[in-house]
Protein backbone atom coordinates (compact mmCIF):
# COMPACT_ATOMS: atom_id res chain seq x y z
CA UNK A 1 0.00 0.00 0.00
CA UNK A 2 1.29 3.44 -0.95
CA UNK A 3 1.71 6.27 1.49
CA UNK A 4 -1.49 8.11 2.45
CA UNK A 5 -1.23 11.82 3.23
CA UNK A 6 -4.14 13.99 4.34
CA UNK A 7 -3.81 17.76 4.01
CA UNK A 8 -6.04 20.08 6.02
CA UNK A 9 -6.79 21.53 9.43
CA UNK A 10 -8.82 20.24 12.38
CA UNK A 11 -11.02 23.35 12.34
CA UNK A 12 -12.56 22.06 9.12
CA UNK A 13 -15.56 19.67 9.42
CA UNK A 14 -14.83 18.10 5.99
CA UNK A 15 -11.25 17.38 7.07
CA UNK A 16 -12.53 15.77 10.25
CA UNK A 17 -14.93 13.63 8.18
CA UNK A 18 -11.93 12.19 6.34
CA UNK A 19 -10.02 11.70 9.59
CA UNK A 20 -12.98 9.81 11.08
CA UNK A 21 -13.09 7.56 8.02
CA UNK A 22 -9.35 6.90 8.11
CA UNK A 23 -9.64 5.87 11.75
CA UNK A 24 -12.71 3.71 11.14
CA UNK A 25 -10.82 1.89 8.36
CA UNK A 26 -7.79 1.61 10.66
CA UNK A 27 -5.45 3.08 8.03
CA UNK A 28 -2.02 4.54 8.63
CA UNK A 29 -1.59 8.04 7.28
CA UNK A 30 0.36 11.26 7.61
CA UNK A 31 -1.50 14.45 8.49
CA UNK A 32 -0.05 17.64 7.00
CA UNK A 33 -1.56 20.89 8.23
CA UNK A 34 -2.67 23.31 5.54
CA UNK A 35 -4.20 26.37 7.20
CA UNK A 36 -6.53 28.36 4.91
CA UNK A 37 -6.72 31.10 7.55
CA UNK A 38 -3.07 31.78 6.71
CA UNK A 39 -3.52 31.33 2.95
CA UNK A 40 -1.45 28.15 2.92
CA UNK A 41 -3.81 26.57 0.38
CA UNK A 42 -2.31 28.92 -2.22
CA UNK A 43 1.19 27.54 -1.74
CA UNK A 44 2.61 26.73 -5.17
CA UNK A 45 3.30 23.09 -4.36
CA UNK A 46 -0.16 22.62 -2.88
CA UNK A 47 -1.92 24.20 -5.86
CA UNK A 48 -0.06 21.76 -8.12
CA UNK A 49 -1.65 18.93 -6.16
CA UNK A 50 -5.06 20.62 -5.91
CA UNK A 51 -5.78 23.38 -8.47
CA UNK A 52 -9.01 24.18 -6.59
CA UNK A 53 -6.84 25.01 -3.53
CA UNK A 54 -9.37 23.53 -1.11
CA UNK A 55 -9.12 21.30 1.93
CA UNK A 56 -9.19 18.41 2.55
CA UNK A 57 -6.88 16.85 0.01
CA UNK A 58 -5.88 13.20 0.08
CA UNK A 59 -2.71 11.95 -1.55
CA UNK A 60 -2.51 8.20 -1.99
CA UNK A 61 0.69 6.89 -3.51
CA UNK A 62 1.17 10.13 -5.43
CA UNK A 63 -2.43 10.40 -6.67
CA UNK A 64 -4.47 13.31 -5.35
CA UNK A 65 -8.20 13.52 -4.58
CA UNK A 66 -10.04 16.58 -3.27
CA UNK A 67 -13.53 16.95 -1.74
CA UNK A 68 -14.26 15.06 1.47
CA UNK A 69 -17.17 13.10 0.00
CA UNK A 70 -15.13 11.85 -2.95
CA UNK A 71 -12.26 11.03 -0.60
CA UNK A 72 -14.21 8.99 1.94
CA UNK A 73 -16.05 7.04 -0.78
CA UNK A 74 -12.69 6.31 -2.43
CA UNK A 75 -11.16 5.13 0.83
CA UNK A 76 -14.05 2.74 1.45
CA UNK A 77 -13.97 1.31 -2.06
CA UNK A 78 -10.21 0.79 -1.97
CA UNK A 79 -9.54 -0.20 1.62
CA UNK A 80 -12.82 -1.34 3.16
CA UNK A 81 -12.72 -4.99 4.23
CA UNK A 82 -16.51 -5.10 3.80
CA UNK A 83 -18.97 -2.80 2.08
CA UNK A 84 -20.75 -1.81 5.31
CA UNK A 85 -19.47 1.78 5.27
CA UNK A 86 -20.38 2.30 1.60
CA UNK A 87 -22.77 -0.46 0.43
CA UNK A 88 -22.53 -2.05 -3.00
CA UNK A 89 -26.29 -2.56 -3.08
CA UNK A 90 -27.57 0.10 -5.48
CA UNK A 91 -30.46 1.29 -3.31
CA UNK A 92 -28.51 1.33 -0.06
CA UNK A 93 -25.66 3.21 -1.73
CA UNK A 94 -28.14 5.72 -3.17
CA UNK A 95 -29.38 6.48 0.34
CA UNK A 96 -25.81 7.01 1.54
CA UNK A 97 -25.13 9.25 -1.49
CA UNK A 98 -28.29 11.19 -0.75
CA UNK A 99 -27.08 11.90 2.78
CA UNK A 100 -23.64 12.92 1.49
CA UNK A 101 -25.25 15.42 -0.89
CA UNK A 102 -27.45 16.65 1.97
CA UNK A 103 -24.35 17.21 4.08
CA UNK A 104 -22.53 19.17 1.36
CA UNK A 105 -25.46 21.11 -0.08
CA UNK A 106 -27.49 21.84 3.05
CA UNK A 107 -25.83 21.00 6.36
CA UNK A 108 -22.27 22.18 5.70
CA UNK A 109 -23.53 25.16 3.70
CA UNK A 110 -25.60 26.25 6.69
CA UNK A 111 -22.64 25.55 8.95
CA UNK A 112 -20.52 27.98 6.93
CA UNK A 113 -23.22 30.65 6.97
CA UNK A 114 -23.73 30.14 10.67
CA UNK A 115 -20.11 30.87 11.48
CA UNK A 116 -19.53 33.64 8.95
CA UNK A 117 -20.56 37.26 8.92
CA UNK A 118 -23.13 37.57 6.14
CA UNK A 119 -26.06 39.80 5.29
CA UNK A 120 -28.39 37.02 6.42
CA UNK A 121 -30.11 37.77 9.73
CA UNK A 122 -29.33 35.69 12.80
CA UNK A 123 -32.99 34.71 13.01
CA UNK A 124 -32.86 33.28 9.51
CA UNK A 125 -29.56 31.49 10.17
CA UNK A 126 -31.01 29.81 13.25
CA UNK A 127 -34.20 28.91 11.39
CA UNK A 128 -32.19 27.26 8.60
CA UNK A 129 -30.10 25.28 11.08
CA UNK A 130 -33.21 24.05 12.86
CA UNK A 131 -34.75 23.08 9.51
CA UNK A 132 -31.65 20.98 8.78
CA UNK A 133 -32.11 19.29 12.17
CA UNK A 134 -35.74 18.58 11.23
CA UNK A 135 -34.61 16.84 8.04
CA UNK A 136 -32.20 14.62 9.96
CA UNK A 137 -34.84 13.75 12.54
CA UNK A 138 -36.86 12.35 9.62
CA UNK A 139 -33.82 10.48 8.27
CA UNK A 140 -33.64 8.72 11.64
CA UNK A 141 -37.37 7.96 11.91
CA UNK A 142 -36.96 4.23 11.33
CA UNK A 143 -33.22 3.68 11.77
CA UNK A 144 -30.40 4.13 14.24
CA UNK A 145 -28.05 5.71 11.71
CA UNK A 146 -28.33 8.26 8.92
CA UNK A 147 -28.61 5.67 6.15
CA UNK A 148 -29.83 2.50 7.83
CA UNK A 149 -29.05 0.57 10.98
CA UNK A 150 -25.28 0.52 10.80
CA UNK A 151 -22.48 3.04 10.55
CA UNK A 152 -21.78 4.37 7.05
CA UNK A 153 -19.82 7.27 5.63
CA UNK A 154 -23.09 9.21 5.76
CA UNK A 155 -22.70 9.31 9.54
CA UNK A 156 -19.00 10.09 9.40
CA UNK A 157 -19.62 12.95 6.97
CA UNK A 158 -22.54 14.49 8.85
CA UNK A 159 -21.05 14.19 12.35
CA UNK A 160 -18.40 16.96 12.15
CA UNK A 161 -20.78 19.50 10.62
CA UNK A 162 -23.63 18.71 13.00
CA UNK A 163 -21.43 18.76 16.09
CA UNK A 164 -20.08 22.13 14.96
CA UNK A 165 -23.60 23.52 14.51
CA UNK A 166 -24.45 22.11 17.94
CA UNK A 167 -22.21 24.87 19.32
CA UNK A 168 -24.75 27.41 18.03
CA UNK A 169 -28.03 25.50 18.23
CA UNK A 170 -27.79 22.61 20.73
CA UNK A 171 -29.52 19.44 19.56
CA UNK A 172 -32.33 19.52 22.08
CA UNK A 173 -33.45 16.04 23.18
CA UNK A 174 -37.07 17.17 23.44
CA UNK A 175 -37.30 18.76 20.02
CA UNK A 176 -35.01 16.33 18.16
CA UNK A 177 -34.93 13.14 20.28
CA UNK A 178 -33.70 10.82 17.54
CA UNK A 179 -31.02 13.22 16.38
CA UNK A 180 -29.90 13.74 19.96
CA UNK A 181 -29.66 9.96 20.48
CA UNK A 182 -27.72 9.59 17.24
CA UNK A 183 -25.23 12.27 18.32
CA UNK A 184 -24.75 10.52 21.66
CA UNK A 185 -24.16 7.25 19.79
CA UNK A 186 -21.56 8.85 17.54
CA UNK A 187 -19.74 10.27 20.55
CA UNK A 188 -19.08 6.68 21.63
CA UNK A 189 -16.93 5.98 18.57
CA UNK A 190 -13.48 5.04 19.91
CA UNK A 191 -11.75 7.76 17.89
CA UNK A 192 -14.36 10.52 18.43
CA UNK A 193 -12.45 12.33 21.17
CA UNK A 194 -9.16 12.26 19.28
CA UNK A 195 -10.57 13.44 15.97
CA UNK A 196 -13.60 15.60 16.58
CA UNK A 197 -13.39 17.12 20.04
CA UNK A 198 -10.15 18.99 19.40
CA UNK A 199 -11.59 20.51 16.23
CA UNK A 200 -14.68 21.65 18.11
CA UNK A 201 -12.50 23.15 20.85
CA UNK A 202 -10.54 25.12 18.28
CA UNK A 203 -13.73 26.44 16.66
CA UNK A 204 -15.21 27.42 20.01
CA UNK A 205 -11.97 29.13 21.06
CA UNK A 206 -11.49 31.04 17.81
CA UNK A 207 -15.11 32.15 17.53
CA UNK A 208 -15.88 32.54 21.24
CA UNK A 209 -17.09 36.19 21.13
CA UNK A 210 -19.28 35.57 18.09
CA UNK A 211 -20.68 32.31 19.48
CA UNK A 212 -21.53 33.92 22.82
CA UNK A 213 -23.33 36.71 21.02
CA UNK A 214 -25.23 34.31 18.75
CA UNK A 215 -26.23 32.02 21.62
CA UNK A 216 -27.41 34.96 23.70
CA UNK A 217 -29.41 36.33 20.78
CA UNK A 218 -30.95 32.91 20.05
CA UNK A 219 -32.32 32.73 23.61
CA UNK A 220 -34.20 36.02 23.36
CA distance 137 to 51: 37
For residue 12, indicate whether it is catalytic: yes
Number of neighbouring beta carbons within 10 Å of residue 129: 21
| Mean pLDDT computed over 119-135 | 85
Tens-digit pLDDT profile for residues 109-124: 877 765 665 666 778 8
| Mean pLDDT computed over 68-86 | 97
pLDDT band at 220 (very low <50, low <70, confident <90, very high): low
- For residues 88 and 113, the model is more confident at 88
| Mean pLDDT computed over 102-114 | 82
pLDDT band at 196 (very low <50, low <70, confident <90, very high): very high
CA dist 192 → 16, 31, 48 (Å) = 10, 17, 32
| Mean pLDDT computed over 129-137 | 95
pLDDT the model gives residue 117: 58
Whether residue 199 has pLDDT greater than 70: yes
SS (H, E, C) 61-87: CCEEEECHHHHHHHHHHHHCCCCCCCC
Name the burial class of residue 171, with classes exposed (0-12), middle (13-18) and buried (19+) by CB atoms within 10 angstroms of its CB: buried
Q: Among 141, 139, 147, 145, which residue's Cα sits nearest to residue 93? A: 147
Equal fold, 4-79 vs 90-218 = no
pLDDT band at 40 (very low <50, low <70, confident <90, very high): very high
If you classify domain 4-79 with CATH, what class do you get? alpha beta
| Residue in 12, 161, 163, 164 annotated catalytic | 12
- For residues 16 and 168, the model is more confident at 16
pLDDT the model gives residue 71: 98
Tens-digit pLDDT profile for residues 56-67: 999 999 999 999
| CATH code, 90-218 | 1.20.1050.10
Listed by start position, the domains of the chain span: 4-79, 90-218
DSSP conformation class of 106: I
Name the burial class of residue 220, with classes exposed (0-12), middle (13-18) and buried (19+) by CB atoms within 10 angstroms of its CB: exposed
Amino acid sequence: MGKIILYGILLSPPVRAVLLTLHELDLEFEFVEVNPLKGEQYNEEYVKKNPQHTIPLLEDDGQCISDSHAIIAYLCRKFGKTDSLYPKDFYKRAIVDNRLHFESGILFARCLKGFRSTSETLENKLKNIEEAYDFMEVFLADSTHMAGNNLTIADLSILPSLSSLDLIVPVNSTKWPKLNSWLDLMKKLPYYEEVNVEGLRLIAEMLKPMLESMIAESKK
